[in-house]
Amino acid sequence: MASLRLQRVRELLKREIGEAVRREFHVSDAGLITVNDVDVAGDLKSAVVFVSILGNADQQKRGFQLLTEHRVRIQNLVARSIILKYTPALKFVFDDSIVRGNKVLQIIEELEKSAPVESGPTEEP
């Protein structure tokens, strides 16, 4: 289990990276980029940033490309806003858990619609 300090750093990085991405990239170009989670190494020298991108396929591809191209810039923006001994080296990973979750919910809704409706117990006099 992660230490309390590590959890606090994770949440702080998640918020600041999200803000930096929001300021740097326009939704029309890169889709809506959201930071789902940040996994920080124990020594705080590296971090894996899990992002999801809502938009069409071109926007998703372009958004991830922009993230990887501007990784150092985002790192610098985060370093200015968060005071740590080491600013973690960021690595962006596409996280499709939201898309998969929506598919599961859609399947459940379809199953509920196609399932026969059971009537309650009937009492005969």
pTM: 0.74
Residue 124 lies in a domain: no
Whether 119 is in a domain gets the answer no
Residue pLDDT, tens place only, 82-113 = 888 888 899 999 887 777 888 888 889 888 88
pLDDT surpassing 90 at residue 15: yes
SS3 (DSSP) at 3 = coil
Q: Is residue 62 part of a domain?
A: yes
Residue 43 falls within a domain, yes or no? yes
pLDDT of residue 5 exceeding 60: yes
CATH code, domain with 106:
3.30.300.20
In a 13 Å sphere around the CA of 43, the CA atoms on its Cβ side amount to 3
| Residue 80: CB atoms within 10 Å | 11
Q: Is residue 98 part of a domain?
A: yes
Q: Is residue 122 part of a domain?
A: no
Number of domains in the chain: 1
* Position with higher pLDDT, 109 vs 117: 109
User: Are 71 and 20 within 8 A, CB to CB?
Assistant: no
Q: Is residue 118 part of a domain?
A: no
Range of the domain at 68: 4-113
pLDDT digits (tens, 9 = 90+) for 33-58: 889 989 998 888 999 999 988 878 88
Residue 89 and residue 75 in contact, taking contact as beta carbons nearer than 8 Å: yes
